Structure 1
């Protein structure tokens, strides 16, 4: 697996596992299985061993399903448009290891040797359970995003100051700048700056700042007619956001209207001088 994909997968896993709603759902499911005691566990196991059995089994199967779903979401991002479809596909693949883990735990706990039919039945059950876990994961991830939590997967923060109606981008302009449609509605202002952050691109607009899971080259391609210039392998700046050029010891940088500075690499130095003098 490529390192950027691994990084994005780990970030998405971090988003999922830190969600209180997911842990609350996990605890509820474990308690239900403990009390009801399906598959003969109520009759064959005492209360404490039964709780331990379902806790370990669910921890293992949920971990497999969620990891597989998030991994598929990262690997298939450029091939399948729907994030939900990507994760459900990954969860479906997880049905096999979930079924095998279930059979192994049952054999170890009850000292029985599972038949081929038993293993196939566990795999089928694991498939449906992994789909359920994937749905819960998807719902949890979207709940986190809706609450605008500060996270590696999606970060949004206002730039500060009052926004005037002139900062807003008309609907016709949004259609010409596809990149804006990837942002939360509150952040869809005039594009001012793009910055690389691992496998992500930080998009700064006149309305806010947001980190999106998109390659820098693809983000540049979705800027449409916005006037600006790539000044570094990791930076793009809009004309409207340039205050002046800074020169020091033979190196140049760009002073932005918000007081920030952007380095200019030698590859783009001539173009920067020609454009902004």
Structure 2
């Protein structure tokens, strides 16, 4: 999910309804009533603060992951929201005059909160997220659910691979051992559509849309921001050369330091502008990519296959006239 989709999810009727349903279940169960001994008004204040703090902490956890570029795993986001809501609820209860609970009671309350929060997470991941994304992306729920599962599974190969003792030392690539290089995911989901990472050549921003150009020339116009698309791609797949352009390393043919502004030359012959703040980094990256491309293609001329002789046109022969 992109950051915009996460923000929209908190305002979606299905998500709001799920939160209200879980809150109603907690109120009806009343796991804290024997510790609080509050009247109706005090209970209303207590639950309002606890539920509001949980939602705010959950949103804050997503925001932290977005700013730091982390994946928003449930183990962090849900646990962070649950602990924050527990602390806020305890503080409000003490302010309203409740006695300080013992260690055993506090452990039981915290355990109940964790179990209930992860129950809500299961409901959200199974039923809420596919329906929310289907509404946001205008696609069928089954297709969105399949893409959601594919995106989550595609995140696993990004983890670095470690070789155990006794294995053959790996070769060195770009000054780093191969064991430290992350593996690229086979596919990536951009605004609800799945692409093979090796097929993406260029991503361009067009107002409120993003154009994804593949190596075969196919062009897909998707609604979204280029920043969200770049954040979903593997970091070593390419570079963002301009605020409106991202280019895959395999699509770079050279670098042209023109006086008005530097230009990046693609393998298709197209040239793209390079932003001034990125000039030095893009030049080194483009020159290295061009050298690797030339080394991979080689300089040898194609050899004609053996056994095939060049065809020569023979002069027409006259057939002698035979008299009867």
TM superposition score normalised by structure 2: 0.46
Give the 3 Å change call, closer, same or farther, for CA 9–115 of structure 1 in structure 2: farther
Tell me if structure 2 keeps the 8 A contact 1:65–1:130: no
Matched, 1:23 2:16: yes
CA distance in 1 between counterparts of 2:122 and 2:4 reads 19
Structure 1 residue 182: deviation in Å? 0.7
SS at match of 2:203: strand
Give the 3 Å change call, closer, same or farther, for CA 15–249 of structure 1 in structure 2: same
Give the 3 Å change call, closer, same or farther, for CA 250–108 of structure 1 in structure 2: closer
Structure with the bigger RCO (C-alpha within 8 Å, sep 6+) is: 1
Tell me if structure 2 keeps the 8 A contact 1:66–1:133: no
- Deviation per residue, 1:9-55 (Å, 9 max, x gap): 97565244222211112222334444565543898423x55444322
Alignment of 1:185-204 (within 5 A): 186=193, 188=195, 191-194=200-203, 204=212
Structure 1 residue 104: deviation in Å? 2.6
CA distance in 2 between counterparts of 1:43 and 1:112 reads 9
Structure 1 residues not aligned, in runs of 5+: 1-7, 151-177, 197-201, 221-229
**133, 143, 146: which one pairs with 1:145?**
133
- The residue aligned with 1:208 is 221
- The residue aligned with 2:49 is 56
- The residue aligned with 2:273 is 263
- The residue aligned with 1:106 is 93
- Deviation per residue, 1:47-104 (Å, 9 max, x gap): x5544432222122333345346646876847xxxx6xx2234423554443333333
Count of aligned pairs between the two proteins: 216
TM superposition score normalised by structure 1: 0.52
Structure 2 residues not aligned, in runs of 5+: 139-183, 214-218, 288-292, 294-324
- Deviation per residue, 1:152-205 (Å, 9 max, x gap): xxxxxxxxxxxxxxxxxxxxxxxxxx6772125746496342359xxxxx6613
Tell me if structure 1 keeps the 8 A contact 2:50–2:85: no
CA distance in 2 between counterparts of 1:214 and 1:261 reads 25
Structure whose alpha-carbon radius of gyration is higher: 2
Give the 3 Å change call, closer, same or farther, for CA 88–217 of structure 1 in structure 2: closer
- The residue aligned with 1:45 is 39
RMSD: 5.2
Bigger helix share: 1
